[in-house]
Structure 1
Amino acid sequence: MEFSTKFAIAVADDLASWQKLNVVAFLTSGVIGDTNDIIGGEYKDASDRQYSSLCIQPIVVLKSTRARLSTFLQRANSRDVSSAIYIEDMFKTGHDAANRETVLQYETDALPLVGMAVRAEKKLVDKIFKGAKLHD
């Protein structure tokens, strides 16, 4: 199936593996939370056991330096593309309200980004994340 949109996540390449996985999980939820048409139907196995619905679209996971993440966010903002962000401070918080409070402490250009995600038209996402590499 061809999609007119692309769902991509860029993560700082210097994070520990558990941190990268945590960032990807949170950012995925951010994009899905903002998108009405991205969740498919429930799954069912041959034993008639039901499973939760999943995202209908593949997600590209990229890696980048932290400095490039700021560039990617600037590109998304200049194109009015909604972004999900994750900053370094969020590793030290324990709940959503604290996460939002810590983000509020920074101006956009000073956010200590460790990850960001967008879903938009394919060419636009490619322009935003130009310079990122596929995560290995």
Structure 2
Amino acid sequence: MQKTYKTGSPPVRQSQGMSTETFAEVPHPTRFDTKIAVLLRDDLETWQRLNVTAFLVSGLGTQVPEVVGEPYADADDTPYLPMFRQPVLVFEGGKEVLRAAHERALRRALPRAVFTSDLFATGNDTDNRAAVRAVAAADLDLVGVAVYGPRNAVDKALKGARMHG
């Protein structure tokens, strides 16, 4: 059973690839009033999906500091970097779903990051920014969009997308 982040009845299990132990029953699962979501074009190869997701969420953490939690440390006091304080939900859809989601995110002024197909051919941040700058918003060949904001606004922006599977 895969872990979901919607409120539901416990117990909640960890996702595949992790320990198969179940978490203790959670009397009141956390329901965040905000949402971090990544929308990927459904024709990307696996390596592209992973790469695009990593790039997109890195932008949110730098511009929306409230999404980042406190640093981690293990029992030996080895420090680790902080991570998002809430789940990142990953969705997929066709070109038109991405275009519509991008337009709705812009209209709602949601913090957002974009990844275009042109960025697969660049090799550095300067060229990445130049590739996006060269194209009008309506003409971007989007392969990924990340958005953050109130749950309802993000849900409306991603209307038509499906959970990545």
TM-score, normalised via structure 1 length:
0.95
1-structure distance, mates of 2:109, 2:59 = 16
* Residues 52-100 of structure 1: per-residue CA shift (max 9 Å, x gap): 1111011100011122101101111112222100000001111111001
Selected match of 1:83 from 101, 112, 115? 112
Aligned to 2:154: 125
Give yes or no for the alignment of 1:33 onto 2:77.
no
The share of aligned pairs that are identical, in percent, is: 38
2-structure distance, mates of 1:110, 1:67 = 12
The 10-residue stretch of structure 1 (69-78 or 43-52) with the greater mean CA deviation from structure 2:
43-52
User: Which amino acid letter does the alignment assign opposite residue 96 of structure 2?
Assistant: A
The 10-residue stretch of structure 1 (33-42 or 4-13) with the greater mean CA deviation from structure 2:
33-42
1-structure distance, mates of 2:93, 2:59 = 20
1-structure distance, mates of 2:161, 2:51 = 19
Give yes or no for the alignment of 1:48 onto 2:74.
no
Give yes or no for the alignment of 1:4 onto 2:39.
no
2-structure distance, mates of 1:36, 1:22 = 22
2-structure distance, mates of 1:38, 1:76 = 18
**1:68 is paired with a residue of what secondary structure?**
helix
Aligned to 2:15: none
Structure whose alpha-carbon radius of gyration is higher: 2
User: Which amino acid letter does the alignment assign opposite residue 74 of structure 2?
Assistant: D
CA drift of 1:48 comes to 2.4
1-structure distance, mates of 2:108, 2:76 = 47
Moved over 6 A (4+): none
2-structure distance, mates of 1:82, 1:55 = 15
**2:39 is paired with a residue of what secondary structure?**
strand
5+ long unaligned stretches in structure 1:
none
User: Which amino acid letter does the alignment assign opposite residue 60 of structure 1?
Assistant: L
Give yes or no for the alignment of 1:72 onto 2:101.
yes
Aligned to 2:7: none
5+ long unaligned stretches in structure 2:
1-29
